[in-house]
Amino acid sequence: MEHVEGPDDPRVTDYLHLRDPDARRRGDVFVVEGRVALERVVDGGLEIRSVLVTPPRAEQLAGVLDRLDPGAPILVADRSVLAMTAGYDVHRGILAVAARPGPLPAAELLRRGDRWLVTEATADHENLGSLFRNAAGLGFHGVLADSRTADPYYRRCVRVSLGWSAVLPHARLAALADELPSLREAGIRSVALCPHRGRPVDEAVADGSLDGPTALVVGSEGPGLDEATIDACDEVVRIPMAGSADSLNVATAFAVVASFDAARRHWR
């Protein structure tokens, strides 16, 4: 282990400006925060370049750190040094830098299973992280994100997803209204989630509309999916709301619909 005295140490350069999504997107690395996310990334086989931890956390992480490449430095610093370096109080006391994987072609992702999450303009990192976590937990094989969707490798997204946004495969698409017909040609049924259009999800699942290869399509918090995207989908489903409630958070709505689908598949 190597001790770090301050943020001007060149060994912590990759940990600077952690609150700037644009700066983080430009590099060839991404930052992992928290023990669970770090364990997930390590389990996923991604390359850890370095770890920056407080002394107490270094002791607690011994089992995880022992699994890293011997060449990856373990940097130890006081909590105040982590805060000055990262630009905020890292109360979990654990940061790591991992190599950002190269882009995955959408065609390759679509060969890896039969359930996908598709996102359109999902710009909020916490919503996107929750979507990745829900997708992993409910048996989805990957995420197709349009060009307006946030960076799944951004620190906050990785943290909220407990590391799943870094290890669940994802690929980029352009405008969904133009891309969805190619999914249909590949035998994949695209199902839009919309609070005010379509059939109740339980009816759609019960009659087999989500059987076979399926992509659940979600939009941004608030505006939802573009009308052209909804029209390009094969099916539109909704979650009936009680009382005066308008809709659910996008990640919650996806989890509800995906749970009906997973139950139909006997949770496989």
Decide if 52 contacts 4 (C-beta within 8 A): yes
Q: Exposed/middle/buried for 214, CB within 10 Å: 0-12, 13-18, 19+?
A: buried
Compute mean pLDDT per 10 residues along the chain, 268 residues long, and list them. Answer: 92 88 76 96 96 93 90 94 92 94 92 96 97 98 96 96 98 92 94 94 95 96 92 96 90 97 91
48: β partners: 98
Measure Cα distances from 140 to 86, 251, 266 in Å. 33, 14, 14
Cβ atoms of 161 and 32 closer than 8 Å: no
- Residues 2-99: name the CATH superfamily: Ribosomal protein L30/S12 (3.30.1330.30)
Q: How far is CA 69 from CA 43, 63, 72, 167, in A?
A: 13, 13, 6, 18
Q: Are strands 29-33 and 94-99 parallel, antiparallel or unpaired?
A: antiparallel
User: Residue 13 has what DSSP assignment?
Assistant: G
155 close to 126: Cβ distance less than 8 angstroms = no
Report pLDDT for 34: 94
Amino acid identity for residue 258 in this structure: A
Per domain, the residue ranges of the chain are 2-99, 106-264
Q: Is 38 exposed, middle or buried (0-12, 13-18, 19+ CB in 10 A)?
A: buried
Which residue do the tokens 């065609």 mark? Answer: 107
Give exposure, 54-82, as e/b (b: 16+ Cβ within 10 Å): beebbeebeebbeebeeebbbbbbebebb
**CA nearest neighbour of 75 among 18, 157, 10:** 10
Determine the number of helices (DSSP H) and then strands (DSSP E) in the chain. Answer: 13, 12
Asked if 82 and 95 touch (Cβ cutoff 8 Å), the reply is: yes
pLDDT of residue 243: 84
The CATH classification of domain 106-264, taken from the options 1.10.101.10, 3.30.70.2190, 3.40.50.10420, 3.40.1280.10: 3.40.1280.10
CA dist., res. 60 & res. 70, Å (int):
18
User: Could you tell me whether strands 48-53 and 142-146 are parallel, antiparallel, or unpaired per DSSP bridges?
Assistant: unpaired
Q: Tell if the pTM clears 0.85, that is, is over it.
A: yes
Contact assessment for residue 57 and residue 94, using Cβ atoms and an 8 Å cutoff: yes
